[in-house]
Amino acid sequence: MNTIISYIDENKDRYVDELSDFLRMESISSSPQHKDETFTCAKWVETHLRNIGIDHVEFIETKGHPIIYAEWMGAPGKPTVLLYGHYDVQPVDPIDLWTNGPFEPTIRNGDLYARGSTDDKGQVFTHFKSIEAYMKHHGSLPVNLKMIIEGEEEIGSENLQTFVRENKEKLKADIVLISDTAMYAKGVPTICYGLRGLSYFQIDVTGPNRDLHSGSFGGAVQNPAQGLAGMLASLKDKNGKIKIPGFYDDVRKLTKKERDAFAKLPFNEKKYAKTLGVKELFGEKGYSTLERVWARPTFEINGMWSGFTGEGAKTVLPSQAHAKISMRLVPDQDPKKIAVLFKKHIRNISPKNITVTLHEMHGARPALAPIDSLGVSAATEALKKGFGKKPLYQREGGSIPIVVTFQQVLGATPVLLGFGLPTDNPHSPDEHFNLDNFHNGIKTSAYFFDTLADMSK
Amino acid sequence: MNTIISYIDENKDRYVDELSDFLRMESISSSPQHKDETFTCAKWVETHLRNIGIDHVEFIETKGHPIIYAEWMGAPGKPTVLLYGHYDVQPVDPIDLWTNGPFEPTIRNGDLYARGSTDDKGQVFTHFKSIEAYMKHHGSLPVNLKMIIEGEEEIGSENLQTFVRENKEKLKADIVLISDTAMYAKGVPTICYGLRGLSYFQIDVTGPNRDLHSGSFGGAVQNPAQGLAGMLASLKDKNGKIKIPGFYDDVRKLTKKERDAFAKLPFNEKKYAKTLGVKELFGEKGYSTLERVWARPTFEINGMWSGFTGEGAKTVLPSQAHAKISMRLVPDQDPKKIAVLFKKHIRNISPKNITVTLHEMHGARPALAPIDSLGVSAATEALKKGFGKKPLYQREGGSIPIVVTFQQVLGATPVLLGFGLPTDNPHSPDEHFNLDNFHNGIKTSAYFFDTLADMSK
């Protein structure tokens, strides 16, 4: 192991140069104008994997951007790790707010600035470089490895979903390793062990068959905006509790251990509220802010519109009112069941004097990685060595649908080993990646493969 | 009188052509892009009044759109009628729902379709044409006449209010004649003796300082759309009663006579509901539909918007939420007092975790015209002759703020002689005006001036 770590230390600067090459490619998956450059980036990944010593690399074309699949299966009897990452990046607007060009990687104060630096090129590259260290030194890895590096994460991973479902046997793995999340804070190595799911709806409410004069008709019919406001208001009580019958039935309670762990985290409510510009925080009574965001389900209005929304005053009684709403789900809530409960409840509370229709737009299962699983145990040890500190376990409020697919279709246990920081500005101008985290991340990756092999003896 | 009526009959088609010219001008007072065309329309009115034989016409520029003032004072000892109307029109959105272009007047089944046809160009034009008949035939009118045709009725008549207050003596009149309301039904000539007032607000709600990711932040802060929905929902109870403390204090109760008269009107709830496309009517419990619309105050959401309103799904927790609301008021509610009560109540119910600000946009007093006044008596006779049927007396749910100003500042008794129909779609796509009503309206106008002169002998 020492020789591997020395190699990583010795090649530190070269690794940054290579990552910069990776970052210079404008692989914006959502932009048709960047299709060729995204393709070029995929080719670069393919070549790079061969260069670091992986012979079996497949360049898989899809209806969208290519998937790079690779494998090294030379460790019989050892666990198989499926490494997942993505080479595509978010758009760069508003471009004016970038200090340097988004595709001109620049180092300032120990951070490497460029679109994709933390999400996800820089993070996935930590594993490429630890693999290189093993292959150059030993010509082998301590575990079996499969890799999926896709180009459509920022646009929904639709083609990857299909690819995974159609290649169950080929992709079979014990552990899926993903570095696409953030550490809790600088100097605080973190393992993310839970993700929330999602159930997204549009509610369409129709009252009269046209917009009416609110003078001539006000008082005669139900106003659909009033009806919608009434329904939306009734879905949550004053304590932030969601009032859909059965909604909480399958929510897995936080263990005492989890609550204690969350409570010990350095979290300044006042500072957090100030950053968001609110006078006070708010949410489900009886839970801390971190508990509410990471481990409790939510109901949010994402959008709402009705009637006259222009300048000035128009005395209209609207014909229609609409809302987009979504519920974040936590283990063991099932988005399909929640959707059924939601639809039933809305049917029950819909006033008879308006017409309410629902459009189900999205569903994603929540995910939970057992903390005592082999993968998470190995990751814990690896972080201790890589960052010199015991990691903490946190959950994450967002959803990464492909994680659930890997879990369900392949039976792989997720390990979410994030080397980003909450201040890295992913999806925003001046995205950056801390170079200490990059370097320690490479070492952590090397320790992870080693520890995992050891633990499975 | 017979020659006057013959003249009106003979010129029937030309009158429609001229009205069509009037309707082609896009005098949308609320639209800055239509400022020039609104000005052109005002000029057209000025010229037209001169053409029909009124020499004294003033083109009065204001901070907004011009006011056309005209007078003919050649009947000493006879009452003075102040004719009021407006040449401005409502916006045309949603434009897709118009069968023909809103400014391409088209006749279908005896109705003239165009924006402004019933509100108010077509209605005010009935009086222009009866005046023309008198002036062409006799060179005089049976009564003294003053006219105010303004261009800001649809945006609050602010500059006219000032003009009236600053020209009390000049505008002094016994009766103010307005045709800007609707008949009870086709073939049922109607005099409107009561109008509702108005109090209009915009509510702006701010939560976090930017749109947040609903995954990463959902559960941490109050959603401003949820806060707004909660406030709006709480303003009315299940029985349609408005829950602003003190709101009903000054509401004048309907007399037994009025309730009996309303109850005797042919009104088919089912048919009315069908016309509006609703499964059932709804409003304040304990009052009939006509009572609710004509003589009870209301609270309506006129518009509402927040967050993501485009196609598809975006998981945003909005930074802001907005609503436009208005309350229709009845005698003896005072819009100033109601505005104070509303502001106080909103302050009381605003959640502490969001910022709520109110913008008062409009206020208008309710109005009531004595049924036994000279003007209403003359109008009753005129309608009998013009439409061949005894009129009925009704109230109207809308507001014409300037009526109250005329009543209060000039001491003029209002006569609301509406030739529109409830099905005319004012403020909506496919606005139209019935051409029989247009023709009979012109004759009624002629009879009104004649009868009024007679009655005041």
Q: The complex's ipTM?
A: 0.86
Record: contact A361-B196, CB cut-off 8 A: no
Q: Which residue has the tokens 């600067």?
A: A13
By Cβ distance, the residue of A315, A353, A398 closest to B213 is: A398
pLDDT band at A46 (very low <50, low <70, confident <90, very high): very high
Q: Alpha-carbon distance B86 to B149, whole Å? A: 5
| Tokens read off for B143 | 């009564």
Architecture of the domain defined by B197-251+297-364 = 2-Layer Sandwich (3.30)
| Tokens read off for A61 | 């074309």
B282 chain-A contacts, CB cut-off 8 A = 220-222, 351, 353
Coil, strand, or helix at residue A140?
coil
Residue in A147, A195, A177, A257 with CA at minimum distance from that of residue A419: A177
Kindly tell me if the per-residue pLDDT of A417 is higher than 90. yes
A315 chain-B contacts, CB cut-off 8 A = 198, 200, 302, 326, 398-399, 427
Q: Of the residues B71, B132, B153, B258, which is catalytic?
A: B153
Coil, strand, or helix at residue A167?
coil
For A420, which DSSP code? B
Reported as a single tens digit per residue, the pLDDT across A212-250 is 999 989 999 999 999 999 999 999 999 999 999 999 999
Mutate to test the interface with A, among B251, B305, B416 (most CBs of A within 10 A): B305
Reported as a single tens digit per residue, the pLDDT across A346-365 is 999 999 999 999 999 988 89
When computed from its CA atoms, the radius of gyration of chain A, rounded to whole angstroms, is 24
pLDDT band at A51 (very low <50, low <70, confident <90, very high): very high
The whole model's pTM is what? 0.83
Distance of CA B259 to the CA centre of its chain: 24
| Tokens read off for A330 | 């936590």
Record: contact A278-B396, CB cut-off 8 A: no
Signed CA dihedral, A391, A397, A402, A404: sign only? positive
Terminal-to-terminal C-alpha distance of chain B: 17
By Cβ distance, the residue of A279, A280, A292 closest to B219 is: A292
Identify whether the C-beta of residue A409 lies closer than 8 Å to the C-beta of residue A94. Answer: no
Record: contact A216-B293, CB cut-off 8 A: yes
Distances (CA, A) of A391 to A130, A371, A380, A418, A422: 20, 12, 6, 11, 16
Quote the minimal CA–CA distance from A355 to chain B in Å: 8
Orientation of helix A121-137 relative to helix A12-24, angle to 10°:
130
* Per-position DSSP letters for B281-345, written without gaps between them: ---STTS-HHHHHHHS-EEEEEEEEEE--SSS---EE-SEEEEEEEEEE-TT--HHHHHHHHHHH
B221 chain-A contacts, CB cut-off 8 A = 273, 276, 278, 281-283
A322 chain-B contacts, CB cut-off 8 A = 309
B88 noted as active-site residue: yes
* Across A23-46, average pLDDT: 97
| Tokens read off for A110 | 């120990």
Of B375 and A428, the one with more pLDDT: B375
Residue of B nearest to A224 (CA): B301
A298 chain-B contacts, CB cut-off 8 A = 214, 218-219
Architecture of the domain defined by B2-195+366-455 = 3-Layer(aba) Sandwich (3.40)
A303 chain-B contacts, CB cut-off 8 A = 225, 306-310, 314, 316, 318
Q: Vertex B68, ends B67 and B74: CA angle to 5°? A: 140
Record: contact B207-A278, CB cut-off 8 A: yes
Question: Taking CB atoms and an 8 Å cut-off, how many pairs form between chains A and B?
Answer: 299
| Tokens read off for B388 | 């061949």
Q: How buried is B283 (Cβ within 10 angstroms: 0-12 exposed, 13-18 middle, 19+ buried)?
A: buried
Record: contact A232-B233, CB cut-off 8 A: yes
What integer pLDDT is reported at residue A256 of this predicted model? 95
Give the phi and the psi of residue A413 in degrees, each rounded to 5: -80, 125
What integer pLDDT is reported at residue B119 of this predicted model? 96
By Cβ distance, the residue of A207, A223, A304 closest to B225 is: A304
Q: Does the N-terminal peptide bond of residue B245 adopt cis geometry, omega within 30 degrees of 0?
A: no
By Cβ distance, the residue of B208, B232, B315 closest to A326 is: B315
Catalytic residues of A, which ones? 88, 153
Kindly tell me if the per-residue pLDDT of A279 is higher than 90. yes
What integer pLDDT is reported at residue B371 of this predicted model? 83
B238 chain-A contacts, CB cut-off 8 A = none
pLDDT band at A8 (very low <50, low <70, confident <90, very high): very high
**A197-251+297-363 matches A2-195+366-455 in CATH topology:** no
| Tokens read off for A45 | 């990944």
Identify whether the C-beta of residue A70 lies closer than 8 Å to the C-beta of residue A54. Answer: yes
| Most distant CA pair in chain A, distance | 85
| Tokens read off for A106 | 């620049």
Q: Alpha-carbon distance A260 to A279, whole Å? A: 27
Reported as a single tens digit per residue, the pLDDT across A107-123 is 999 999 999 999 999 99
Mutate to test the interface with B, among A314, A319, A350 (most CBs of B within 10 A): A314
Quote the minimal CA–CA distance from A141 to chain B in Å: 36
What integer pLDDT is reported at residue B276 of this predicted model? 95
Of A97 and A44, the one with more pLDDT: A44
Q: Alpha-carbon distance B19 to B13, whole Å? A: 10
- Give residue B204's identity as a one-letter amino acid code: D
Record: contact A233-B236, CB cut-off 8 A: no
CATH 3.30.70.360 assigned to domain A197-251+297-363? The reply is yes
Kindly tell me if the per-residue pLDDT of A53 is higher than 90. yes
Quote the minimal CA–CA distance from B71 to chain A in Å: 31
B397 chain-A contacts, CB cut-off 8 A = 213, 215-219
Orientation of helix B435-455 relative to helix B12-24, angle to 10°:
110
For B457, which DSSP code? -
Kindly tell me if the per-residue pLDDT of A427 is higher than 90. no
Mutate to test the interface with A, among B236, B282, B360, B430 (most CBs of A within 10 A): B282
Q: Alpha-carbon distance A430 to A427, whole Å? A: 9
Q: Which residue has the tokens 């106003």?
A: A223
* Per-position DSSP letters for B220-250, written without gaps between them: TS--HHHHHHHHHHHTB-TTS-B-STTTTTT
- Give residue A15's identity as a one-letter amino acid code: Y
Kindly tell me if the per-residue pLDDT of A312 is higher than 90. no
* Count of beta carbons in the 10 Å neighbourhood of residue B76: 6
Q: Alpha-carbon distance B194 to A361, whole Å? A: 49
Coil, strand, or helix at residue A10?
helix
Reported as a single tens digit per residue, the pLDDT across A361-403 is 988 899 998 888 999 999 999 999 999 999 999 999 988 889 9
Residue in A7, A9, A1 with CA at minimum distance from that of residue A133: A7
By Cβ distance, the residue of A219, A304, A399 closest to B296 is: A219
Q: Alpha-carbon distance A240 to A259, whole Å? A: 19
Residue in B58, B50, B26, B48 with CA at minimum distance from that of residue B39: B26
By Cβ distance, the residue of A214, A221, A302 closest to B214 is: A302
| Tokens read off for A47 | 């070549």
Q: How buried is B208 (Cβ within 10 angstroms: 0-12 exposed, 13-18 middle, 19+ buried)?
A: buried
Q: Of the residues B26, B71, B88, B396, which is catalytic?
A: B88
What integer pLDDT is reported at residue B364 of this predicted model? 86
Q: Which residue has the tokens 């301590």?
A: A142
For chain A, the average pLDDT equals 95
Residue ranges for chain B with pLDDT beneath 50 = none
pLDDT band at A409 (very low <50, low <70, confident <90, very high): very high
Q: B299: which strand partners?
A: B327
By Cβ distance, the residue of B301, B313, B398 closest to A229 is: B301
Distance of CA A452 to the CA centre of its chain: 24
Of B312 and A16, the one with more pLDDT: A16
Coil, strand, or helix at residue B430?
coil
Q: Could you give the dihedral angle defined by the CA atoms of residues A433, A437, A439 and A445, in that order, rounded to the nearest 10 degrees?
A: -110
Q: Where are the domains of chain A?
A: 2-195+366-455, 197-251+297-363
